[in-house]
Amino acid sequence: MNNEEALLKAYKLGCELAYSSDREKTAFIAPVVNAAKFMFMGGNLGRAGSVASKISPHWVGAPLGFGAMEAAMAEEGDKVNAFGRGMVSGLLFNPLMSIGGKIGGRLLAPGLKGMGTGSSAAKFMRRVGFSPEAAQHMQLARGLNKQLHSGMLKNTQRALQSGNYTGGNIKKYLDKIDSKMVPEALRNDLLKLQNQFSGRVAASQQSAALQDLQNFSKKLYEVGYGSGGKAAQRALKATRVAKGVGMAAGGMGLGMMGSHPITASMDNSQASYFNEYGGH
């Protein structure tokens, strides 16, 4: 064997080892990342539709994540109690954040209220310069996004991500959309989605179906938004930003203000582990 053949063989062997190592790292890291997301209100455990995915919705992951954080920061001897306080905090934080987000969004962006073509949001869009057709397109996209984020205990988007969607709200919403209500370029996309959700979507296909829904919603909104003038676009964008800020501030604010006093009252650890004589 000459030097060139030896080098080529060594190169091929190195490539195989690198590829194998990369696959092993991916196989190890991916579940760890997904587990971390699950513990902080995102992601799920196990493959789509598995038993692990069914018992790992975000309202289970958040308490565990909060509990783990509290325990990690607690003093020795108080870690068990801290974990319990963290779990209670996580249980409270989830619904309070959702409620606070809705309140904050309404306060800072009252114009974007309602999903129908006769709602205040549609009227606001027309008032700042969008055509009725453009407003309709954007309202249909907003309505679909609302369906994806519906359900506090069983969020539709998270259920689709984990392969556990069994509801019918998406089908009902899609069936209400006539093909004439969307741009001609998106009518095939609408038909595909209506066919996808005409029956039960297989667990292994739900994540892809969610991606199709999100892409359709995004394109539909962009068509309506892009048809407006610069002034109309700036006005709507500013209102959307205000709503996003309100939802973030309201969600975090109410979540922390509502959960912290309750968990603080559960702290029964002593101010000091030493008495006036220096003993325990």
CA gap 156, 210 in Å, rounded: 9
Q: What pLDDT is recorded for position 137?
A: 96
Q: Which residue has the higher pLDDT, 273 or 143?
A: 143
Higher pLDDT, 54 or 187: 187
Answer whether residue 187 shows pLDDT above 70. yes
Give the model confidence (pLDDT) of 73-111 as tens digits: 777 777 878 788 877 877 787 778 788 888 888 888 888
**Position with higher pLDDT, 133 vs 50:** 133
Domain ranges of the chain: 131-227
pLDDT at 202 over 80: yes
Q: What percent of the chain has pLDDT over 70?
A: 72
pLDDT tens per residue, range 226-277: 999 999 999 999 999 999 888 888 888 887 787 777 677 776 655 544 544 4
Quote the CA–CA distance of 201 and 206 in Å, as a whole number. Answer: 6
Please give the backbone phi and psi of residue 47, each rounded to the nearest 5 degrees, phi first: -80, 165
Least confident stretch, 53-62, 81-90, 131-140: 53-62
Mean pLDDT of 109-123: 87
User: What's the average model confidence in pLDDT over 172-188?
Assistant: 95
Give me the DSSP letters along the chain. Answer: --HHHHHHHHHHHHHHHHHHHHHHHHHHHHHHHHHHHHHTTS--SSSTTSHHHHT--HHHHHHHHHHHHHHHHSPTT-HHHHHHHHHHHHHHHHHHHHHHHHHHHHHH-TTS--SSTTSHHHHHHHHTT--HHHHHHHHHHHHHHHHHT--SSS-HHHHHHHT----SHHHHHHHT--GGGS-GGGHHHHHHHHHHTSSPPPGGGHHHHHHHHHHHHHHHHHHHHHTS-HHHHHHHHHHHHHHHHHHHHHHHHHHHHHHHHHHHHT----S-SS-TTS--
Confidence of residue 118 (pLDDT cuts 50, 70, 90): confident
Mean pLDDT of the chain: 80
Evaluate if residue 134 carries a pLDDT over 90. yes
At residue 136, the pLDDT reads 95
Q: pLDDT tens-digit profile of 33-42? A: 555 555 555 6
